[in-house]
Amino acid sequence: MNPLTIDIRRLQREIDELASITEAEPPVVTRVLFSGADLRGREFVKKLCREAGLTLRADAVGNIFARWEGANEKLPPVATGSHIDAIPNAGKYDGVVGVLGAIEAIRALKKSGHRPQRAIELIVFTAEEPTRFGIGCVGSRLLSGVLAPQKAAALRDRDGKSLDELRRDAGYTGSLDSVRLPKNCYAAFVELHIEQGPILEWENTAIGIVEKIAAPSTLRMELTGVGGHAGGTLMPGRRDALLAGAEIALAVERAVTGSGSPDTVGTTGVFRIEPGAVNSVPCRALLEIDVRDTKVATRDAALVQIETAAVEICQRRGVVLETDRLNVDPPAVCDAALVETTADICRHLGVSHRKMISRAYHDTLFMAQICSCTMIFIPCRGGVSHRPDEFTSPEQIETGVHILAQTLAQAAG
Ligand SMILES: [Zn+2]
């Protein structure tokens, strides 16, 4: 095998071109699942896969698989991949580095004359971001069996459109029952991703190798109070849904800061009120609350504390509360041997690296349910992500793609 050369200029051009496929004004990237931009982005990625000589297929929820056949088709393949959907007002590297970077890793391996024993398969996951349905990683949840097909089919977006309608409109028509993959259908899964945190940059370290992914959970609370004229409704006896919601948001902060674990974090990221007029008492509030921790026990204790507080607050304020646990997921523990393989590759190449915890969750969290996994993190400037000024340098990407390529080559034999 000749030495690996990553064509970083071509890869950077492709990252820039995908970033121009957006629902927003560039440089802002917005690519919500099954929007026009998402569908055009998928076509762009598929074109690159075809040009790289990969065999394409898609499953019923729109997960895309691009395969480089191995010498021994009896062996389970090695997989890599990430997502190209982007939240509103995002940047161009989150997810994309793991998709386009994987294509470049495969191209580089091919060019070097490498011939893997196992097939190497790129997966572009559907809806890693929770924007459309309030739940993230829809594609990998279905693949791993964490989300039941009937539950997925019934997911609805803000306009009342179901996942089932939307995926069919996008051309993914099979039965959702067919999406789930058997355990150990892949020998390994490795996802390249920007860190979305500041640690690698602080420490001036090129590569983070993920050992564990923090356990996420999402609560949705619908509060129904009583509206009325802002002038005519006197203060005693008001049943203001916004004020109940505001108290709940503060209770979230109290629960996570008092959990006893420094890793517990809680965010009330959605807070919508109706009718939303300055002269009207808010009659309805919708809150979506994200709570995470590396430990299940402290995360779950915080969830219970938040739910208990919400019940008390709403009772006291005469507001009707409906709580839904959208997801309560376990943490993922990465495969120690795979982590060591990647660490050895870094050592061998003289690339600075450290093992770390991912506090953001990724499709790997769910792939870990069916096969050995790890993630390769590269730094991003200031730890900034989910913003248009998200930035990772071409050199940092090149190093990440190099380590990914070597890890895939080793895992594929
Ligand atoms: Zn991502």
Distance from C-alpha of 306 to C-alpha of 252, rounded to nearest angstrom: 6
Three-class DSSP category at 86: strand
Three-class DSSP category at 272: strand
Q: How far is the CA of 409 from the centre of ligand 1 (A)?
A: 23
Phi (first) and psi of residue 130, to 5 degrees: -85, 10
Q: How far is the CA of 271 from the centre of ligand 1 (A)?
A: 23
Distance from C-alpha of 158 to C-alpha of 292, rounded to nearest angstrom: 24
What burial letters (b/e) apply to 147-157, b meaning 16+ CB within 10 Å?
bebeebbebeb
Degrees to nearest 5, angle at CA 138 with 362 and 79: 55
- Distances in Å between the Cα of 144 and the Cα atoms of 137, 182, 214, 246, 388 are 11, 8, 18, 36, 31
Distance from C-alpha of 134 to C-alpha of 148, rounded to nearest angstrom: 16
Question: Per-residue pLDDT averaged across 192-204, rounded?
Answer: 97
Question: Per-residue pLDDT averaged across 98-127, rounded?
Answer: 97
> 7, 1 in Cβ contact below 8 A?
no
Distance from C-alpha of 383 to C-alpha of 198, rounded to nearest angstrom: 4
Q: How far is the CA of 314 from the centre of ligand 1 (A)?
A: 35
DSSP letter for 351, please. Answer: -
* Residue that the structure tokens 């995002």 belong to: 90
Distance from C-alpha of 32 to C-alpha of 201, rounded to nearest angstrom: 29
User: Residues 26-69: pLDDT tens digits?
Assistant: 999 999 999 999 999 999 999 999 999 999 999 999 999 999 99
Distance from C-alpha of 226 to C-alpha of 232, rounded to nearest angstrom: 13
> 386, 91 in Cβ contact below 8 A?
yes
Three-class DSSP category at 260: coil
User: Residues 338-388: pLDDT tens digits?
Assistant: 999 999 999 999 999 999 999 889 999 999 999 999 999 999 999 999 999
* Residue that the structure tokens 């939303």 belong to: 276
Question: Per-residue pLDDT averaged across 404-412, rounded?
Answer: 98
DSSP 217-286: EEEEEEEE-B-EETTTS-STT-B-HHHHHHHHHHHHHHHHHTSS-TT-EEEEEEEEEES--TTEE--EEE
The pLDDT of residue 383 is: 94
Structure-token pair, residue 333: 């523990």
Q: How far is CA 135 from the centre of its chain?
A: 10
Phi (first) and psi of residue 286, to 5 degrees: -120, 125
Q: How far is the CA of 375 from the centre of ligand 1 (A)?
A: 12
Long-range interactions of 163-168: CB distance < 8 A, separation 24+:
163/61, 163/133, 163/138, 166/33, 166/34, 166/132, 167/34, 167/60, 167/61, 167/62, 167/126
DSSP letter for 219, please. Answer: E
Percentage with pLDDT > 70 across the chain: 100
Q: How far is the CA of 98 from the centre of ligand 1 (A)?
A: 9
The pLDDT of residue 3 is: 84
User: Residues 311-329: pLDDT tens digits?
Assistant: 999 999 999 999 999 999 9
Question: Per-residue pLDDT averaged across 255-265, rounded?
Answer: 94
User: Sign of dihedral through CA atoms 205, 124, 330, 300?
Assistant: positive
Q: What radius of gyration do the chain's Cα atoms show? A: 22
Question: Per-residue pLDDT averaged across 196-208, rounded?
Answer: 97
Q: How far is the CA of 221 from the centre of ligand 1 (A)?
A: 25
Whether 1 shows a pLDDT value over 80: the answer reads no
Distance from C-alpha of 157 to C-alpha of 382, rounded to nearest angstrom: 33
Q: How far is the CA of 363 from the centre of ligand 1 (A)?
A: 8
Question: Per-residue pLDDT averaged across 115-137, rounded?
Answer: 95
Which residues are in the CB-under-5-Å shell of ion ligand 1? 94-95
Kindly state the greatest CA–CA separation across the chain.
80
Structure-token pair, residue 412: 């594929």
Distance from C-alpha of 265 to C-alpha of 306, rounded to nearest angstrom: 12
Q: How far is the CA of 1 from the centre of ligand 1 (A)?
A: 32
> 228, 342 in Cβ contact below 8 A?
no
